[in-house]
C-alpha cells in the first residue's frame, strides 16, 4: 500500500501482484481533519491516525504494510560526484560532504545516499544524498503505527511520483511539477536521475486564477534556468504536471499556452500504467505519488 499524506487529504492505493504484473485493488482519499497538518507538518498524530483508519475501513483496504514519503520541501537534496569507492565508503564520504551544509545539526537529521552510477572511465561515482529532519520522519512513522500500519519505506515524494514515469521519461530532461494543496514542488530529472528540487508557496485553490497560473509558468522557466546554472541541465523533453491542481479543468492547456516550447503532459498519460482491476476506476494525477509508493513495494 502507498499512502500520501497531504495538507488537505490522505490518498491511499493498494496494489497486488498477479501474473507478473500489478493490479490496483483499491484506492481512495479522505479528508485531513482541520488543523492537524500545517503545510505538511503533522500537528495531531492521534487525529490523523484515526482519519487513516476510517479511510482504510471505508475502502476495504486490509494491507498493513505501507510505503510513504515526505515532501521534497522538507528535504535537503544534493547530487555529488565522488571517487569510486565501495558502497559503505561512498555513504561515509557523502555524509562528510553534506554535514556542514545541512540546515539542521547532523544529529537531528536522517541522511541516506543512493548510488546513481560510475563515470565511463570508472574513476568517479555520482550519488544522490538526501537529508530530512529526524522529527518529521519520526512523527510520520508514529502516526502510521498508531493507525495500525507497519511503515516499510519512507522516501521522498518526487521519487515516488517519477517511478511510474521512468520508462516514458528516461531520455533527456523531465521537470515534474506537483501542484499541491499548500504549495508547488518542482523536481528536475536528467536521464531518470533526480538532480534538484524547488518549492513555491501556492495552493491549488488558487490555480484557477490566471495570474497564479502565470506565476507557476514563470517558476518553471526559473527552475530550468537554475538547472542550467547548476550544470545539471540536459535538453528537457517535457514538463509533467501532477497533484490536485493538475485535476483542475484546463490546467494543462493553460500552462501549455504559456510554455509553448515544452510538451505539457498529464502524469497518468505517461505511466505505462499497471494492469487495472475492472472493478476499479482509474485514479486522477493527484494519486501518482501514492501509486509510485505502492509500486515500489509491490514489485520487490
Residue 98 pLDDT > 60: yes
**Mean pLDDT (the chain, rounded):** 85
Residue 91 sits at the vertex; the CA angle it makes with 87 and 93, to the nearest 5 degrees, is 115
Neighbouring residues of 235: CB distance < 8 A, sequence distance ≥ 6: 172, 173
| Cα-Cα-Cα-Cα dihedral sign, residues 234, 218, 79, 158 | negative
Q: How many Å apart are CA 99 and CA 83, to the nearest integer?
A: 18
pLDDT at 251: 78
- Can you give the pLDDT at residue 270? 56
Mapped onto helix, strand or coil, the DSSP state of residue 40 is: coil
**pLDDT tens, residue by residue, 180-207:** 877 889 998 888 889 888 888 765 555 5
How many degrees, rounded to 5, is the angle at CA 170 between CA 164 and CA 173? Answer: 115
Q: Where are the domains of the chain?
A: 75-133, 169-271
Distance separating the N- and C-terminal Cα atoms of the chain: 13
Instruction: Name the pLDDT band for 66 (thresholds 50, 70, 90).
Output: very high
pLDDT value of position 273:
59
Q: Reply yes or no on domain 169-271 having CATH 1.10.8.80.
A: no
Tell me which of 58 and 264 has the higher pLDDT: 58
What are the angstrom distances between the C-alpha of 292 and each of 107, 164, 254? 30, 6, 26
3-state secondary structure of 221: helix
pLDDT at 151: 97
The arithmetic mean of pLDDT across residues 217-242, rounded, is 76
Give mean pLDDT, residues 135-155: 97
146 φ/ψ angles, rounded to the nearest 5 degrees: -65, -25
User: Can you tell me which residue has the cell 494525477?
Assistant: 285
Helices within the chain (DSSP H only)? 45-59, 87-98, 134-146, 157-163, 166-169, 210-229, 251-258, 288-298
Which residue has cell 557523502? 94
Packing angle of the helix pair 134-146, 45-59 (nearest 10 deg): 50
**Beta 236-242 vs 173-179: how paired, if at all?**
parallel
> Looking at the domain covering 75-133, what would its CATH class be?
alpha beta
The length of the chain is 300
How far is residue 135's CA from residue 143's CA, in Å, rounded to a whole number?
12
Please check the confidence at residue 277 and state whether its pLDDT lies above 70.
no
pLDDT score of 261: 63
Give the helix/strand (H/E) hosting 174: strand 173-179
**Quick one: pLDDT band at residue 52, thresholds 50, 70, 90?**
very high
Amino acid at each position: 500500500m502507498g499512502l500520501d499524506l497531504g495538507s488537505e487529504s490522505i490518498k491511499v492505493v493498494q496494489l497486488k501482484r498477479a501474473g507478473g504484473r500489478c493490479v490496483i485493488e483499491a484506492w481512495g482519499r479522505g479528508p485531513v481533519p482541520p488543523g492537524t497538518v500545517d503545510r505538511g507538518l503533522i500537528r495531531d498524530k492521534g487525529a490523523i491516525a484515526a482519519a487513516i483508519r476510517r479511510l482504510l475501513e471505508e475502502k476495504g483496504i486490509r494491507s498493513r504494510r505501507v510505503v510513504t514519503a515526505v515532501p521534497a520541501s522538507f528535504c535537503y537534496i544534493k547530487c555529488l560526484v565522488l571517487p569510486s569507492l565501495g558502497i559503505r565508503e561512498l555513504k561515509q564520504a557523502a555524509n562528510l560532504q553534506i554535514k556542514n551544509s545541512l540546515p539542521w545539526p547532523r544529529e537531528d537529521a536522517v541522511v541516506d545516499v543512493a548510488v546513481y552510477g560510475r563515470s565511463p572511465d570508472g574513476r568517479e561515482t555520482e550519488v544522490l544524498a538526501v537529508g530530512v529532519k529526524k522529527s518529521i520522519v519520526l512523527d510520520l512513522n508514529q502516526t502510521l503505527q498508531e493507525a495500525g500500519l507497519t511503515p516499510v519505506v519512507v522516501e521522498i515524494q518526487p521519487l515516488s511520483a517519477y517511478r511510474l514515469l521512468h520508462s516514458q521519461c528516461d531520455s533527456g530532461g523531465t521537470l515534474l511539477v506537483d501542484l499541491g494543496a499548500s504549495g508547488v514542488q518542482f523536481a528536475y530529472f536528467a536521464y531518470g536521475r533526480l538532480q534538484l528540487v524547488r518549492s513555491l508557496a501556492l495552493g491549488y485553490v488558487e490555480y484557477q486564477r490566471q495570474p497564479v497560473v502565470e506565476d507557476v509558468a514563470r517558476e518553471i522557466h526559473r527552475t530550468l534556468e537554475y538547472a542550467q546554472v547548476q550544470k545539471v541541465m540536459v535538453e528537457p523533453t517535457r514538463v509533467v504536471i501532477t497533484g490536485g491542481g493538475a485535476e483542475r479543468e484546463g490546467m494543462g492547456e493553460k500552462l501549455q499556452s504559456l510554455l509553448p516550447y515544452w510538451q505539457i503532459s498529464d502524469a497518468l498519460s505517461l505511466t505505462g500504467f499497471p494492469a487495472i482491476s475492472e472493478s476499479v476506476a482509474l485514479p486522477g494525477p493527484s494519486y501518482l505519488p501514492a501509486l509510485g509508493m505502492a509500486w515500489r513495494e509491490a514489485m520487490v
